[in-house]
Structure 1
């Protein structure tokens, strides 16, 4: 049975319920299964040996999610080849691919939690009321230990981009 965290965050001021644990720096990163396409799935081990910046957005087709993904795409070039940036949402892979093409985003890998919701539940970001994943940032070391976590208290706010990027830079 997954942990339920009632009122852990809000969406436009209204409390939401998150399913899964509140992870913190020092925790072992939980495994997950995410879709790269409707049939191709990936897990944590597919990014073994790399520092992982995982940017979680509720839906790529909203303003803050769009800006968040574009920002990390811009930062990617300065982080080097030992870093992978993953954007996770529950959008269908088709929508993610279309958005990347239209936005010119090519340095961030978009992955979908639509099928299994395993990322959302393992990382404590699955929103029970909305069926979406909560805006959050995870920086995971090459050895799969979590180095940095930011769960946003209000879904419509931007994450602290500088802190997340600095957490990655400290690992490379």
Structure 2
């Protein structure tokens, strides 16, 4: 597999929305309970420019042309100004793309890009259980800093969310 990682753009919106909606419909990984439309997802895409601390990186299989394999983002952690040097990271892979190193490649490129930004900490919330996501975050130096117990209900079940933190300086 040959994977190219590049900034996401408007042409990727439908594929990115499809990947996200898979997790909305089939998992508790995201706490959205209703699939999002392209119009609802467009502001999210536009909030991740090609440069700066809030990025969207997309992985594509260039050998087979199978389209987008996944994406990683760094987004504002919280809206208040004092949080500006913190980001929340997330990663979503297309169904069937896990276990092939795509997530690792996306995070390698994302954290390399963030080195040149004024970012002090990265945070990630992981709905439990999700051993694959925990392993990925720990491999990149994230440490568990706490768990919100039964913070979200999806599919009639309450779910915990573990929070992870990574120093970026």
- TM above 0.5, one fold? no
Alignment TM-score, normalising by the size of structure 2: 0.31
Alignment TM-score, normalising by the size of structure 1: 0.30
Relative contact order, higher structure (CA 8 A, sep 6+): 1
Name whichever structure is richer in helix by fraction: 2
Bigger radius of gyration, 1 or 2? 2
